Chain A
Amino acid sequence: MTTDTIHDSHGHDHHDHKMTGIKRWLYTTNHKDIGTLYLWFSFIMLLVGGALAMLIRLELFQPGLQFVEPDFFNQLTTVHGLIMVFGAIMPAFTGFANWMIPMMVGAPDMALPRMNNWSFWILPFAFAILLSSFFMESGAPNFGWTFYAPLSTTFSNGSTAFFVFAVHIMGVSSIMGAINVIVTIMNMRAPGMTYMKMPLFVWTFFITAYLLIAVMPVLAGVVTMVLTDTYFGTSFFDAAGGGDPVMFQHIFWFFGHPEVYIMILPAFGIVSTIIPTFARKKLFGYSSMVYATASIAFLSFIVWAHHMFTTGMPLFGELFFMYCTMLIAVPTGVKVFNWVATMWRGAMTFEIPMLFSLAFVILFTIGGFSGLMLALTPVDFQYHDTYFVVAHFHYVLVTGSLFSIYAGAYYWLPKWTGHMYNDKWSKAHFWCSLISVNILFFPMHFLGLAGMPRRIPDYALQFADFNKWVSIGGFAFGLSQLIFLVVVIKCIRGGKKAEANPWEATEGLEWTVASPAPYHTFETPPKID
């Protein structure tokens, strides 16, 4: 992909109808502003969710109850999960989509800019509602982020309605964001940019947006059923009224499993963009990457019950979901092999975005291995609901999704701010994160295999040593993320000027505009050969 016009930004400055102060951010319809809002919001949520996680690790530092009551402990794990999934990872990717997709496809903005503003600005209210329940008499939701009925219905505390409405708003926001991405990609690509010429990040987010539209309404449905079961006397999930608590899990995981891929497909896209740049070699197997992403998205709809092997499914169901789940390893494997083949005989350098991407490939693959082991139903009976599962999904979500977000942030920070990031601080961020995250999550495998269930505030003595390690790693990892805050603030305030194309071997339209990217880009579409 090359463009025949190098964009000159200086002519556009008079178009900026930016308002000043807070109004600029409240009323903005500019995709870059909204992208920035999403990214800051997700980072704040990461710190909030991280603070809750640190309280959890504090309580689990040694056996016995030291700091929190069991009920409050359950509130911590529940809200930690909800915040990280819906508040940190998903909005961060939407932030990337907002900033990068119009620039990557050569569009002047997102297709539906006012809806874009709306889809961001309802999010802070959603999380304010959710977090406010901590200050209610009954406390925050305490039934786990998976809110299994009837614990979340008949047996829930008084804040369930807050939880339900918060999730509704998050869902509305996600659906609007997804519609915007799809309309933009389908209608606003620059002339000559065919689907198979789109950057891989655009492809992965395109597919993610379809997943979002398919499953967020299912989540909205299931929380509504929880609401009416709790407050209006229905019995969707209550056997005494003819309902079925296991049906809750089927509906929830029909949303929940594609949700897992909503949180990892954009990560694949970011990493597939960064590795070729720093290996100075084109991405190996572009089209197979696209097909693999689409296959993963399709398979994600027919594997949901692998979260439910212990609920008493019939043998046939267990076999079906075991085989389908194992199949996901094939397209995922293709992706990993393609990344390695891209590096193979490249000329690699190890800037921070590349370091995070390499860590992503290795650590995400470790998460993939434990996923493959979990797919085997008979062994899953032993792993299920233990720390082995906790280790698994934190490897794919923290060293997977979060690391790819950091990789992308470092990669595009020069484009966003016009400055290079501080080398020393960012290296400190990477190495502290890499080491502490493994001290944090690797021993969880051992804890799970030794038999420690998840979501318990206290544990038997044979788990004490590893829990101490995990907690130490947790505090270190949490504090390391503050270094990133320092890096970003330093980068916004100054630093070495970034050129339009700060890296040697980039591909993509975003590098043809100045750094920092002007407020409006591609008002005249570039032409792609």
Chain B
Amino acid sequence: MKRRNLGWLLSGILFPGMAWADSTLNMTPGVTEISNEVYGLHMYALYICTGIGVVVFGAMIWSMIFHRKSKGFKPATFHESTKVEVLWTVIPIIILIAMAWPATNTLIAMENNDNSELTIQVTGSQWKWHYKYFDQDIEFYSVLSTPREQFDNRAGLGDTKGENYLLEVDKHLVIPANKKVRFLITSDDVIHSWWVPAFAVKQDANPGFINEAWANVPEPGIYRGQCAELCGKDHGYMPVVVEVKTEQDYLAWVEEQNRLKDEAKAAEAASLNASLSMDELMTLGETTYMAYCAACHQPNGLGLPPAFPALKNSPIATGDVNAHIDIVFNGKAGTGMQGYGKQLSLKEIAAVVTYERNAWDNNTGDTVQASDVQAASSGSETTTEATPVESAATETETVEQAAPPEEDLSKTYSLEELMSKGEQVYATRCAACHKATGEGLSPAFPSLIGSPIITGDVSAHIDIVFNGSKKNPAMAAFSSQLTKTEIAAVITYERNAWGNDSGDLVQPADVDAASAK
């Protein structure tokens, strides 16, 4: 368009020294077939609009130049014509149809989520992304890695910013090339929007609901995007970075992740017995604090009251240690304070709590060890009933730590025994989502009353409780959290409560047999 050239011209005259190398004027075609189609549509619409603009503005400018009073032009008197009005109603409609047709085809292709080869759950939370691979046991948070000094401008202006300033994260989302990857997008708190321009994928992350999107990327490479929906204070600081690897490299990466996970588990276990010095804790604590806490509570511990309270001299950071550990581990419902039990290791939590209790003249002298965190957090599960989600996470860990008692799988129970045990298990494990009445919370948490799974094949029912749902990521796998006896009881309960009355009895041995498949 003309104006663009004018812009270039003006800029050349006024600011000859400005660097324009990085700036782009237009949308980029992206790297997928879909994103190329979208780019094509964009250019097509742009050309049509430019064409209309040339005609309309041309006529206008023509009459501004030639039909002016100062040139002695005498005004015509015509002021209506049905023929012309019909003409300029019909022609735009034809143009619109010519635009809508290809747009419809592209849209239908974009919304076809079938036949994906890999599914990844993408969860937005203030202000980071969490990725969970469905087929592998891999999940991690992806957090902005641009150092705070760069955007706070404490290191001086301009020159110190890195190449990918604000578009870099600690852990990339890694996907294989030439595979249709499906993303299931949801949120932990407010609405976010997961956007990778190079894939033409932008999908809102709605809390309590799951959206779908997909990409099939032919080219390995690193692709960057950002959160696109205002999600609070640090909306500008939650980039998306996707690294596309060749099939081989991807498999190697998966292997590496599994190895790292085992190491982390070992380190976690070791940290329970280790006792770190104050200095060690403070050093690790400061790093962790800067990465996870400083955005809200500020590097100087003064916070941004009232939403983000000061930690300096605060009752929590200088009071009871266990309450302090509890709030860091489990978060505080109804506020911006998340639970970090899932995001940080026990050692890191110990260090950050120690740091908070001793930095900024808090000087309590307390040192907190990983084992203290372990003790305090497992203690909290019995007292805090208000936060079922967090405490469930805590219990998972406890189960892994303490070996479960031997189960007698051959034992058979009566319907009454199974029902009363099942009701207990259901109330603590299932009712938060599926509700005590079995009605669920549609659509994320389906009703169990008369549902096809509950009234259908028993082994499919066992499978979904034991292994979780492939379709709905909200349905977790309970294999590691419940004993086979408990699973048998809860399934029996679900199949006979709320008028389901199937009369089915599921024994531990059935669960064992079905899960062995």
Q: Which residues of A contact B (CB under 8 A)?
A: 62-66, 69-71, 74, 137-138, 142-144, 148, 150-151, 154-155, 157-158, 238-240, 242, 244-246, 279-288, 310-312, 315, 318-319, 322-323, 326-327, 329-330, 333-334, 336-337, 340-350, 358, 361-362, 365-366, 369, 372-373, 376-379, 381-382, 384-386, 438, 442-443, 446, 449-451, 453-466, 468-469
Contacts and interface: CB of A to CB of B under 8 A. Distances in A.
B206 A343 contact: no
Given A378-B41, A385-B229, A449 B27 contact: yes
A190 B49 CA distance: 44
Interface string B225-268: 11111111111110000000000000000000000000000000
A333 B88 contact: yes
Contact of B203 (A285, A310, A461): A310
B408 interface: no
A279 B64 CA distance: 10
Contacts of B80: 284-288
A82 to B, nearest CB: 14
A143 B230 contact: yes
A66 B157 CA distance: 9
Given A144-B230, A281-B77, A315-B111, A378 B103 contact: yes
Given A451-B225, A457-B236, A458-B166, 8 more contacts: A154-B334, A287-B80, A343-B67, A346-B73, A348-B64, A379-B103, A453-B226, A469-B7
Contacts of B81: 285
Chain A interface helix/strand/loop/mixed: helix
A455 B108 CA distance: 30
A377 B100 CA distance: 10
Nearest to B167: A460
Report, nearest first, the 8 A-B pairs whose CB atoms are least far apart: A239-B208, A456-B236, A312-B211, A369-B49, A282-B79, A345-B76, A347-B69, A462-B22
Nearest to B234: A70
A374 to B, nearest CB: 9
Nearest to A435: B10
Interface in B375-419: none
B75 A281 contact: yes
Contact of B23 (A322, A382, A446): A446
A456 B235 contact: yes
A64 B76 contact: no
Contact of A66 (B153, B161, B197, B206): B153
A315 B107 contact: yes
Contact of A71 (B152, B195, B231, B233): B233
A459 B236 contact: yes
Contact of B41 (A142, A150, A379, A385): A379
A17 B290 CA distance: 69
Contacts of B165: 63, 460-461
Contacts of A244: 208-209
A32 to B, nearest CB: 31
A376 B103 contact: yes
A378 B107 contact: yes
Given A64-B152, A446-B24, A155 B306 contact: no
A366 B3 CA distance: 11
A148 B230 CA distance: 9
B202 A384 contact: yes
A51 to B, nearest CB: 22
B230 A449 contact: no
Contact of B96 (A64, A151, A326, A449): A326
Contacts of B423: none
Contacts of A66: 153
B68 interface: yes
B352 interface: no
B106 interface: yes
B13 interface: no
A386 to B, nearest CB: 7
Nearest to B3: A442
A245 B233 CA distance: 19
Given A318-B107, A449-B24, A457-B236, A245 B207 contact: yes
A446 B89 CA distance: 31
A306 B306 CA distance: 36
A450 B67 contact: no
B207 A378 contact: no
A506 B234 CA distance: 55
B510 interface: no
B274 interface: no
Contacts of B151: 63-65, 458
Interface string B58-71: 01100110011110
A477 B73 CA distance: 35
